[in-house]
Structure 1
Amino acid sequence: MTDPRLAGRRVHVKVPATTANLGPGFDTLGLALAVYDELDVAVRDAPGATVVVHGVGEGEVPTDETNLVVRSIRHTFDAYGIPMPGLDLVARNVIPHGRGMGSSGAAIVAGVMAAKGLLEGIVDIDSAGLLARATELEGHPDNVAPALFGGLTIAWMAEDGPQHKRLTVHRGVSLLVCVPETSTMSTALARSLQPESVPHADAIFNVSRSALLIAALIQSPELLFASTEDRLHQNYRAAAMPETDALVQALRAKGYAAVVSGAGPSVLVLCGDPAERLAAAEVVAAASTTPWQAHMLAVDFKGATVVPNPVETVA
């Protein structure tokens, strides 16, 4: 039975795409991107849930209670001991699926944020609660943290759950995200390609580069190329994404700070200014034999938002 306090409630949610790892910051660093999925949710009298999907995933993702967004809403309601009411959802998706831009993390965050909005005045879900619920579903916080809070995030696990620190990116940093038109990569497959242990020297190498990358992103963009070197994950995954690896190597040979975006196969280029980004895009067009869509993106600084009882109705 639907909690009478939830009757008639509606929310509108907006969640940014993300790019994680950023080269050396494996499972730790993430950036929010100014590309957004949007979601409208309305409480209904009938139990269960139905989902209408527009855009990316239309005709492909589940439209019932097995949908990841619905499962995330239910997970959040369950965490606070309140039964999920019947729901109607309309998703307008722009974030590519399986391309290393945080689509699953965005879906999870959309559900958690929708639950937060629906439960407003009934349960107060703070930032720690949002991150905890999202991480429980995602398994690691490096994508969900920037999707929730925007900007550059450092995420880590502590005894009392996932933690994060949000930082503001230097205004000179410009992002180029190169998305392949056809190939995808499963995060689970990408993780399965990594060894259980790495050489001590490689671990030290990545610690130094990760620390340097923070300085480069918030203060010294001229250090972006040196700070994006990696020995923990990209080489192990290269054989599964030959086109991605070839593009990363071609860009780095020209001096551009190119890395694999998340689990791939998209490529992220961190540039020190807009002119450098334009030049990097020209290298992509000239060097790749596989069709790539080059997106010149801004960093999202707001993170996910939820508006209870929006003016527009769900349709």
Structure 2
Amino acid sequence: MINRTIEVGTGVHVKVPATTANLGPGFDTLGLALAYYDELDVTVREEPGVHVDVHGVGEGQVPTDERNLVVRAIKHAFDAYGIEMPGLDIVARNHIPHGRGMGSSGAAIVAGIMAAKGLLEGNVEMDAQAVLTLATQMEGHPDNVAPAIFGGLTIAWVTPEGPRSKKLIVHRGVSPVVFVPEHTMSTALARSLQPESVPHEDAIFNVSRSALLVAALIQSPELLLEATEDKLHQSYRASAMPETDQLIRALRDAGYAAVVSGAGPSILLLCDEPQQRLEATALVEREALTPWQSLMLAVDFKGATVVPHPVGVLA
């Protein structure tokens, strides 16, 4: 491990968007960045070790030392280049809900790696592909980390040489809404409900709908209802989140393109007219048995950013 000195007081500010993966039929492949952000200020200190000051989501709950996911991501990036991680003071301002299918773990991983990228500038040139590779190594799959890094709509896949991603620009007529419940859902539990194999006709169904969904999101939003149909994962997970399933059925029966957001239990609604967001929110308020928060969001087109602080200054 190389002990390469990074000047005390060197700091960076990182901003990472929430994401929603799968989008119905695009299981483990399609992802969308949302204009809802976690932010991070990281400063090199003289003393060894790490301290994390968490504000907002996770405050008083997530670890504030080396066990913190952001810290583990920073260390993962430093280790990948054989450089010893310095002592760090970290201030995290979190807005992305945890355990709700909005990519909170992916955002934390990307935030940490982007922070490392900024701190290592001048010592290591970490390009976007390196960020994607490091983030996927930690997350296990690229469908959430890709849109968090690049913004917009992303198609992600894995090759023998590593993960790959293609960013597409979403049609300006697409208006996302995320309905967020008070209860959480374990991604590991959601994945455990998936069967090892699926019927041939279901696989064909999802291939057609995934292709149609890309066209709907970038060119023809009026096709979103049909394009978000799925037979690979949502029905298998329905028993673990019955209210999510019930609300999605009610929304789709009313003509809205509603799907499970990521592993759930949040619901993603893709509208092709702004008025639909208000109408769908009213429907959820009528039908829901428990409180749900409605987040009317834009698509984030920029992805994760990192900018330096002047030495010795924490923004």
TM-score, normalised on structure 2?
0.97
SS at match of 1:133: helix
Task: Tell me the residue number matched to 2:231.
Answer: 231
Task: Tell me the residue number matched to 2:306.
Answer: 306
Task: Tell me the residue number matched to 2:14.
Answer: 13
Distance 1:311 1:80, change over 3 A: closer
Q: Does the 8 A contact of 2:9 with 2:311 survive in 1? A: no
Q: Does the 8 A contact of 2:157 with 2:164 survive in 1? A: yes
Between the aligned partners of 1:159 and 1:240, the Cα distance in structure 2 is 34
Task: Tell me the residue number matched to 2:68.
Answer: 67
Matches within 5 A, 1:88-99: 88-99=89-100
Between the aligned partners of 1:282 and 1:172, the Cα distance in structure 2 is 21
Residues 231-266 of structure 1: CA deviation (Å, up to 9, x unaligned): 000000000000100010000010100000000000
Give the letter aligned to residue 207 of structure 1. Answer: V
Give the letter aligned to residue 221 of structure 1. Answer: P
Task: Tell me the residue number matched to 2:106.
Answer: 105
Between the aligned partners of 2:305 and 2:195, the Cα distance in structure 1 is 37
Q: Does the 8 A contact of 1:19 with 1:262 survive in 2? A: yes
Give the letter aligned to residue 216 of structure 2. Answer: A
Give the letter aligned to residue 187 of structure 1. Answer: T
Task: Tell me the residue number matched to 1:273.
Answer: 273
Give the letter aligned to residue 228 of structure 1. Answer: T
Q: Does 1:286 align with 2:310?
A: no
Residues 70-94 of structure 1: CA deviation (Å, up to 9, x unaligned): 0000000010111111111000000
Between the aligned partners of 1:273 and 1:169, the Cα distance in structure 2 is 14
Q: Does the 8 A contact of 1:234 with 1:260 survive in 2? A: yes
Task: Tell me the residue number matched to 2:136.
Answer: 135
Q: CA deviation at 1:2?
A: 5.4
SS at match of 1:7: coil
Q: Does the 8 A contact of 2:9 with 2:313 survive in 1? A: no
Matches within 5 A, 1:22-171: 22-171=23-172
Between the aligned partners of 1:312 and 1:247, the Cα distance in structure 2 is 50
Q: Does the 8 A contact of 1:89 with 1:314 survive in 2? A: no
Q: Return 5+ residue gaps in structure 1 as ranges.
A: none
SS at match of 1:282: helix
Task: Tell me the residue number matched to 1:259.
Answer: 259
SS at match of 1:4: coil
Task: Tell me the residue number matched to 2:187.
Answer: 187
Task: Tell me the residue number matched to 2:203.
Answer: 203
Q: Return 5+ residue gaps in structure 2 as ranges.
A: none
Between the aligned partners of 2:259 and 2:7, the Cα distance in structure 1 is 45
TM-score, normalised on structure 1?
0.97
Residues 24-74 of structure 1: CA deviation (Å, up to 9, x unaligned): 000000000000000000111111111000000000000000100000000
C-alpha RMSD over aligned residues: 1.3
Q: Once the two structures are aligned, what percentage of the paired residues are identical?
A: 74
Give the letter aligned to residue 97 of structure 1. Answer: H
Between the aligned partners of 2:56 and 2:179, the Cα distance in structure 1 is 19
Residues 160-186 of structure 1: CA deviation (Å, up to 9, x unaligned): 1000000000000001100002x1001
Between the aligned partners of 1:177 and 1:312, the Cα distance in structure 2 is 39
Between the aligned partners of 2:261 and 2:245, the Cα distance in structure 1 is 11
